[in-house]
Structure 1
Amino acid sequence: MSEKLIKANHDNILLGGDLPVRRIGYGTMRLADGPDSPRGGEALIWRPPADRAAALAVLRRAVDLGVNLIDTADAYALGGGEELVAEALHPYRDGVAVATKVGVLRPSPTEWVPLGHPAYLRQQAELSLRRLRVERIDLLQLHRIDTDVPLADQIGALKELRDQGKVRHIGLSEASVEQLREAAQIVPIVSVQNMYNLVTRHHDPVVDYAATNGIAFIPFFPVAMGAHASPDGPVAAVARELGATPAQAALAWLLHRSPTVVPIPGTTSPAHLEENVAALDLTLTGAQFARLDQAGG
């Protein structure tokens, strides 16, 4: 990559060619449980937030900052996440898109069980419509692919909802290139939401496939960096050069990694929320991008 300045794209991308969203969204998964509950990959996401007022405030602040893609799922707090989004934001401002996911059972706080039976997916979508207080879901994603059910049957259920006008666009989560190709034979797939960040890079082929095919790649846990976030690490060094934080540098790397990447960092802190959104204003040189890329890869 050349040394020329590469500006993070401040413009919207068009999901499905007709749904404009800014390139940093907001993921609601962390708006659950209490302050002493596990975080990160060990988070339970089992109960509505202990501080409901604070959760509502951070959702509203996200929209005030111009964030217009709000990501949730029916499995977050057994539907409580969707109810929280509706309580905070309904009636939704023009241009605000809500994405949700179906296809995972929560029989206990520690279990996330894929279930792709078509009747179950349709039922959960109906419940999501009620909890979100909408007549049509902007983006409905298959939360996990159930290997015990043909993918065609799972995608077919989502297509039926789309044909009925209950869903605008369809996406997948934790999907491979092959699965995206298979699903696209049935209905247009506008997004894929996989775990991806500077350190977790096994979905690089999916990022590239999404960019080539105009599919939004929505990374969750986008700023997980581990040891790379140390004060002496390369991420911190680039951040200091930018006058930014390591988290902002990591988000800037994602924004430069592909023109269809839309990170959805989640936080319960208004200050961190503002920090995340401000990453849109960062400019990396080619050399800075390469250093970050090599640090993670």
Structure 2
Amino acid sequence: MVKAEFAIIGGSYAGLSAGLQLARARRDVLVVDAGLRRNRFVDQAGGTSHGFLSRDGIAPGVIAAEARQQLLRYPTVRWLDGVAEDARQADDGRFAFRVGEHSVHAAKLVLATGVRDELPAVEGLAERWGRSVFHCPYCHGYELAGGPIGIIAAAEVAQHHAIMLPDWGMPTLFLNEAYRPSGDDLAAFARRGTKVEATPILRIEDVADVVLADGRTLRMNGLFTQPRSHIASPIAAQLGCALAQGPAGAFIQVDAVQQTSVPSVFACGDAARASGNVALAVADGAMAGFSAHRSTMF
């Protein structure tokens, strides 16, 4: 059996940030990580992370690896690779879960499990995810050099991309039979300079070329879409944490200090907000670490 005062499930940006606060409070910390960081596809495509102060233009895997090295310098921190499963609250009030052959018991939990993205079923889209297909303009819009940008609608929330993205280039909203704009939507798009294309998409080719059902090909510098997000681990549900619904899917409901509906369970990162990025994940993780620590005293 592995015992810890604090167990952090998820070793990406939010979990690492939470762990750093607890380590610096000289507390016993166990980080459990499945190795499925959400933005790993950016690394696989040779891309970089943007918008995180002092780390702009650095590969996301490098940021995560350096953060892990820094965290593991603290003598009270342990790391366990694997998937956390079968969580429950034990009779003594501690939390129990399994990681492979290990049984883990912890007094406090920080859930930083991240999310899994479900992309629209467009041929060629998934292969370009993180390379020329994105979801966050603040993270990747600038690099498209003010040129043509495609927006592949997956739901009504595509209207946000259609209104925002003219600040980064010249957008075309591909409805792709997934979204029917209202008259007010179309007027807003026209005011912002966003074109609307109703012809369905056949596939994506080359970097970001959109091949339409009528034979036309529209060349784009990059594409944005609205993936459905799914909490990457069932741990929160197994413990009975309340969930909330956002425009992209369910997320773990937390209060202003990252406390879930279950006492002594905190949550942070993309699994605990309607949308997010690296900077927000780090901030949420820091708050979760502070709050988990303070919960031992107040």
TM-score where L is the length of structure 2: 0.27
Higher share in helix: 1
Structure ID, larger Rg: 2
